[in-house]
Structure 1
């Protein structure tokens, strides 16, 4: 009877372990290397496309399918990077295969996460090979990791890369990075809201780093954190001018453009979240607050910032300062006050309240589409860089409209346009 009970216990344990492990999927990595090896045996491009399709993408887990969709990966993209970077792929291959040895560690980190945040909802973890464009992202309740970037080390051969961002990605990474990256992305599956404002998005990203650090119980090594700490005052001052705008490109997901000063929104969001946690008397409640913050609710995010005491000033005072210093459109000639604009008009002048940065602008179509866009060219700035002159082509008795956004226009003092989205709309008269 004892032996029978022992067998039953073993079966139950094995079943429980199997169910637990089923949330981590690594088959895409194995399939990729099978495809990779087969591709090395032919110089025929059509055959390479067939091999990557049959041996990798056709066998994709639902996680890889979601990853490919979110990052626009396709068979051609995979064959291109395989052919272009043979030294890199051979160098990183052993690292990607170590992920299977880390399943226990990955599971243990999720158990620890559940200890500090009991409300944790289950998520599935997919470890794939991507197209050298993303280390990780999420889709619904799926954590999606590109192992070729997530497991690169300082010793990884990057000699074939011309892209400086790719060269620098691995400089501070270790194989432990895969665990902290997984927790970072796991937290994203728990979060609410997707407001594309610098303050909201920075806290959303940086808070994931803080939670990962609490789970790992050691400081995370991130280039943006070390750079941010070394330039803290300067970064804070810049952030004040941008945090209420939608100018994400200045702060996030900009590794290819900003070099060493890339992704500083992660650093700021991490510091804000850390201070909120440190200032809280109830640490467990603070973790719950951080993870459950609604990023679509600007007031909730601004209250969170105030409670963190990251800035000496209250958030409402920072908002007043931002609004006072932000440039506004004060005149649009000949649109202003005109019931019908002369269809022979060849130029429109947009005048701002402050001197603007020349050549820092773009224009967005309205919902009505390109047929309603009158601009044919940007002529340039005049009036001490306060007036932007646009070339237009107008037809009689026709409506026109387009948008200016605050992420597309900036004053020389460093402030973005006051209006988040300013619609310019007019109608022409008859000849």
Structure 2
């Protein structure tokens, strides 16, 4: 008799994850799923795609609870530095490789599959960004991460400018370093310290804009990601070092109103991170002058009317462009948008040319 072994279907796997993990999950897991758009189908996809990683990380996940006491000690130190500290709940979850930690209201949400990874974790199947993150991590990093996210639960919401978001993110790194007494060794901090003078000048031009794709939340698109975190950290550290009342300095950093552009700019000035007095209007103008623009469309030749039979559109930009792209569909939405995809970028006579279908 021949016995054929039937492999479980995708729907069966999804139902198992849904029943045994999602449905039984904590409030924190549900909040993390909503914050990072996780679902059972995604976990099945990731388990199938990265089997070596999941086998490798399991041991670290199971060891995470041993850090609970150290985390509690650090939070008590945080309370001494900042007596106004409000209580928050901490949840450890196994997420979908999109975040090592975030917050929702008064909840710290830790993605243990990223947060507990270290140099010994098998990341050969993963992205360059995650491999770079893991090589700088150690089990004790988990303590600093929890303090970092706890700081965010105490802050006011982020502002819209790149400067406000950078200080908001970097401030938590700095306060965490004060609390734990351990230097942040994340990939962006290590690189930032090595290249601070260069980054400082580039940051100065960009910081009053709302464009932050070169600095924040860009792990999937650049080699050295999230350098805006380091710049915010450096500004907060400079502010702290230049204040005589250190406890008040901590309070100022945590309670900065990021929605108030004037207050954020005043904080930057008081930090003395830049020796010269900065003019936001002039810097923003310089930033805008440096932005790429379309020099010529080869297909429509700058006509006001376009032939409806046109099947390809080629644009020439003023400078070489990277692989990233962003498309706005307009009022009609995707269903009424004529462009179906991007062929790619080509270099022609020192220009960057992008073709669309």
Q: Identify the range of structure 1 (143-152 vs 65-74) with the bigger mean alpha-carbon deviation.
A: 65-74
Deviation at 1:315, TM superposition (A): 3.0
Deviation at 1:368, TM superposition (A): 7.7
Report the equivalent of 2:163: 199
Report the equivalent of 1:244: 208
Deviation at 1:363, TM superposition (A): 5.8
Report the equivalent of 1:357: 319
Deviation at 1:344, TM superposition (A): 4.7
Matched, 1:272 2:225: no
Deviation at 1:103, TM superposition (A): 1.5
Deviation at 1:264, TM superposition (A): 0.7
Alignment of 1:11-410 (within 5 A): 43-45=7-9, 46-159=11-124, 161-259=125-223, 261-316=224-279, 318-324=280-286, 326-327=288-289, 344=305, 356-357=318-319, 364=328
Q: Check whether the contact 2:235–2:273 (CA below 8 A) recurs between aligned residues.
A: yes
Q: Check whether the contact 1:190–1:291 (CA below 8 A) recurs between aligned residues.
A: yes
Q: Following the alignment from structure 2 to structure 1, what is the Cα–Cα distance between the partners of residues 210 and 176?
A: 26
Q: Check whether the contact 2:320–2:350 (CA below 8 A) recurs between aligned residues.
A: yes
**Secondary structure of the residue that 2:119 maps to in structure 1?**
coil
Deviation at 1:128, TM superposition (A): 0.2
Q: Check whether the contact 2:236–2:253 (CA below 8 A) recurs between aligned residues.
A: yes
Q: Check whether the contact 1:302–1:315 (CA below 8 A) recurs between aligned residues.
A: no
Q: Following the alignment from structure 1 to structure 2, what is the Cα–Cα distance between the partners of residues 324 and 47?
A: 56
CA gap of 1:308–1:84, structure 2 versus 1, over 3 A, is same
Report the equivalent of 1:4: none
**Secondary structure of the residue that 2:231 maps to in structure 1?**
helix
Deviation at 1:102, TM superposition (A): 1.7
Q: With structure 2 as the length reference, what TM-score do the two structures score?
A: 0.82
Q: Following the alignment from structure 2 to structure 1, what is the Cα–Cα distance between the partners of residues 167 and 109?
A: 21
**Secondary structure of the residue that 1:192 maps to in structure 2?**
coil
CA gap of 1:328–1:49, structure 2 versus 1, over 3 A, is closer
**Secondary structure of the residue that 1:294 maps to in structure 2?**
coil
For structure 2, the residue ranges without an aligned partner over 5 or more in a row are 295-302, 309-316
Q: Give deviations 1:250-299, integer Å, cap 9, x for gaps.
A: 1011122221x211101100000000001011000000000001111111
For structure 1, the residue ranges without an aligned partner over 5 or more in a row are 1-40, 333-341, 348-354, 392-431
Q: Following the alignment from structure 1 to structure 2, what is the Cα–Cα distance between the partners of residues 372 and 88?
A: 41
Deviation at 1:373, TM superposition (A): 8.0
Q: Following the alignment from structure 1 to structure 2, what is the Cα–Cα distance between the partners of residues 303 and 124?
A: 33
Q: Following the alignment from structure 2 to structure 1, what is the Cα–Cα distance between the partners of residues 164 and 33?
A: 26
Q: Check whether the contact 2:205–2:286 (CA below 8 A) recurs between aligned residues.
A: no
Q: Check whether the contact 2:144–2:176 (CA below 8 A) recurs between aligned residues.
A: yes
Deviation at 1:365, TM superposition (A): 5.5
Q: Following the alignment from structure 1 to structure 2, what is the Cα–Cα distance between the partners of residues 167 and 389?
A: 31
**Secondary structure of the residue that 1:234 maps to in structure 2?**
helix
CA gap of 1:140–1:244, structure 2 versus 1, over 3 A, is same
CA gap of 1:271–1:359, structure 2 versus 1, over 3 A, is closer
**Secondary structure of the residue that 2:102 maps to in structure 1?**
strand
Report the equivalent of 1:33: none
Q: With structure 1 as the length reference, what TM-score do the two structures score?
A: 0.68
Q: Following the alignment from structure 1 to structure 2, what is the Cα–Cα distance between the partners of residues 47 and 370?
A: 32
CA gap of 1:344–1:265, structure 2 versus 1, over 3 A, is closer
Q: Which has the larger radius of gyration?
A: 1
Q: Check whether the contact 2:46–2:96 (CA below 8 A) recurs between aligned residues.
A: yes
Q: Check whether the contact 1:303–1:315 (CA below 8 A) recurs between aligned residues.
A: no
